[in-house]
Structure formats: C-alpha cells, structure tokens
Amino acid sequence: EAGVTQSPTHLIKTRGQQATLRCSPISGHTSVYWYQQALGLGLQFLLWYDEGEERNRGNFPPRFSGRQFPNYSSELNVNALELEDSALYLCASSLGSLPVGAKNIQYFGAGTRLSVL
C-alpha cells in the first residue's frame, strides 16, 4: 500500500514568488496535516484539512494557505515568499475525525524541501 506522497521533492524559488506543494494521503485517510520544519525551530503545525475543509491552522501568516480536493489530496500554497520560508514541509495523513480518545496515528511523507533565494 502506498504511503503519503509529496511532490516535488525539492523546490527552489526566489523572494516574492509563489510556491505550490502537493500531498497525496494514504488511501482511506481523509485528514491531511501540513507542518513546517525550519532549521533550529523544530516542527511547527501549519494547517489541518478534513473532508475538504480547513479545520485548524497554526500561527502562520495568511500567505500560507491551502486546500483539500475531493480525492483528499491537498495543496499548500505559500505566496510572497520570504527567505525564512526556506524549510522542509511535511505532510501527514490520518483517518478522519475520531471519537475522543481514539488512536489517531499520523503517517508522514518524505517532505518537500523549499529553498528561497
């Protein structure tokens, strides 16, 4: 069974440009999460989508946005790129909203490394 896949593997952009990152979840998973792993900052939660809707977002500016398609794949868009947006962007998927206390294991993709020059 295929795991979480992300594309592209690497992306090089210049300041001010827009970047689009893509994620395909594990078959049967309806929730997709985006995380940013910048050097020295650790993994930071960006966005959570479930059943096509944005359920929660982390402490990031509005130029970070995304969407989830009917097949549950997802896009992360970063507008007006800044140098500090350079990071590894990880996507994870899980089963959808579960009862409180149920296991909700997130499975991660290999990430997209975004470099902003």
Partner 1 sequence: KQEVTQIPAALSVPEGENLVLNCSFTDSAIYNLQWFRQDPGKGLTSLLLIQSSQREQTSGRLNASLDKSSGRSTLYIAASQPGDSATYLCAVNSGAGSYQLTFGKGTKLSVIP
d(CA 53, CA 75): 12
Helix/strand/coil percentages in the chain, nearest 5:
5, 50, 45
The verdict on whether omega for the bond into residue 25 sits within 30 degrees of 0, i.e. cis, is: no
In the set 49, 109, 114, 116, which binds partner 1 (CB under 8 A)? 109
Give least dist CB 81 to partner 1, A. Answer: 21
**What residues contact residue 26 under an 8 Å CB cut-off, 6+ apart?**
1, 2, 3, 4, 93, 107
CA 37 to chain centre: 11
Site for partner 1 in 68-107 (CB under 8 A): 88, 90, 92, 94, 97, 100-101, 103-107
User: Smallest distance from the beta carbon of 49 to partner 1, in angstroms?
Assistant: 11
Question: Pattern of binders to partner 1 over 1-30, x per CB under 8 A?
Answer: ---x-x------------------------
Provide the binding-site residues for partner 1, judged by CB under 8 A. 4, 6, 31, 33, 35, 41-45, 48, 55-56, 58, 88, 90, 92, 94, 97, 100-101, 103-111, 113
